[in-house]
Amino acid sequence: MTERVTDYALLKKGDGRVLFGEGPFTELESCPQSGVAFYVNDFALSDAKPWRVPASYKVVESVFELSQELGFSEGGGELDVEWDELTPEGFAQVFSEINQAIGKGEIEKSVPVAVETGRFKQGSGVDLLSSLASGEEAFYPYAWVTGGKGFCGLTPEVLFNLRKGRLNTMALAGTARSIEQQVFAYDEKEIREHEFVAQTLVSKLSDMGMVKRSQRSILDLGVLVHFHTPIEVFLYGDKDTDDLVRRLHPTPALGPLPRTEETMGNLIRWREMLGCPAWFGAPFGVLEDGVFHAVVTIRGVHWDGEQVEIPSGCGVIEASRLVNEWRELALKRSAVKRSFGLE
């Protein structure tokens, strides 16, 4: 990596191209009316100035092209991480609390997170960026680096794309291994979890415009498969981008149902109990010439100096079972490790 680049961001946009911004970044409270700016916030949306205007930027056709130009792969050769053993005690406690809340009728669903931690024995967080070029077409590479910490990933989940009065989003929920795809199509628990997400999104968007929900399908991401439902909204008039972020984040796939101040507070408390990075599952977007594209920061790696973390989340509903959810969380982390050469 070029020495002069210490603060930067990148994101694959809705048109497939990649926008790369280099700092120092100017911080703004609200969405600028023109130009280029990244949206960077934590899961709780606690940053009062989430808009970051880069000192310079470029748009390239792919992360591979960017990697060749900036030398992402020149940082330190192979990566080696010493992983700590992840035990289920903390997750089991949170899982039990969620089940109790479901039993009392306080919630229908919430999304606890398990976090695997380790230390770089060789390489650093910046060296992870070369792996972003290997993502399949369905993935959106993203990265945010500031000083010696940051995060990057290959997410399949779009928060929303906003262009000329048209908003596109998706329901992405329900998970299985690719080899289980045939039986997955009939799994009532996974279908129910997905429908929670899809129906909640449609309901949340119905007062904003004409909503078109496509049919549910299976998105094959190599190791894992998910149920996927595209949703398009033809908006009634102009909408404020900041308001749309607050309305659509967290997605029903990562947030509680129903979403209230109390249920969100409980979810954030559970995430903190489990050591979840604040940026995991947060909105991350880029504005270019009036078009805004934002993704959900899942399937990624977070680091601070030598410390490295891989979080994974799962939707817990009444039909969920601890053993199955613990297995799903491990599958998701394993897929991330494989993508970044951290196994």
Residue 207, domain member (yes or no) = yes
Q: Which residue range(s) make up the domain with 11? A: 7-340
Token pair recorded at residue 134: 């290997």
Q: What's the pLDDT score for residue 74?
A: 47
Residue 2, domain member (yes or no) = no
Token pair recorded at residue 111: 């999304």
State how far Cα 26 lies from the chain centre. 24
Residue positions counted in the chain: 343
How many separate domains does the chain show?
1
pTM: 0.93
Q: What's the pLDDT score for residue 1?
A: 41
Residue 1, domain member (yes or no) = no
Q: What's the pLDDT score for residue 77?
A: 59
Exposed/middle/buried for 93, CB within 10 Å: 0-12, 13-18, 19+?
middle
Question: What is each CA distance from 92 to 74, 86, 113, 274, in whole angstroms?
Answer: 41, 12, 11, 10
Asked if residue 24 has a cis previous peptide bond (ω within 30° of 0), the answer is yes
Residue 308, domain member (yes or no) = yes
Q: Catalogue the E-assigned strands of 7-164.
A: 7-12, 18-22, 26-28, 36-40, 51-53, 56-60, 80-83, 113-122, 140-146, 149-155, 158-163
Residue 315, domain member (yes or no) = yes
* 10-residue averages of pLDDT along the chain (343 residues): 68 93 96 95 97 96 82 65 96 98 96 97 90 84 94 96 96 92 94 92 94 96 92 95 96 90 97 97 96 97 97 93 96 94 88
Are the CB atoms for 343 and 190 separated by under 8 Å?
A: no
Are the CB atoms for 8 and 22 separated by under 8 Å?
A: yes
Are the CB atoms for 149 and 339 separated by under 8 Å?
A: no
CATH number at residue 64: 3.60.120.10
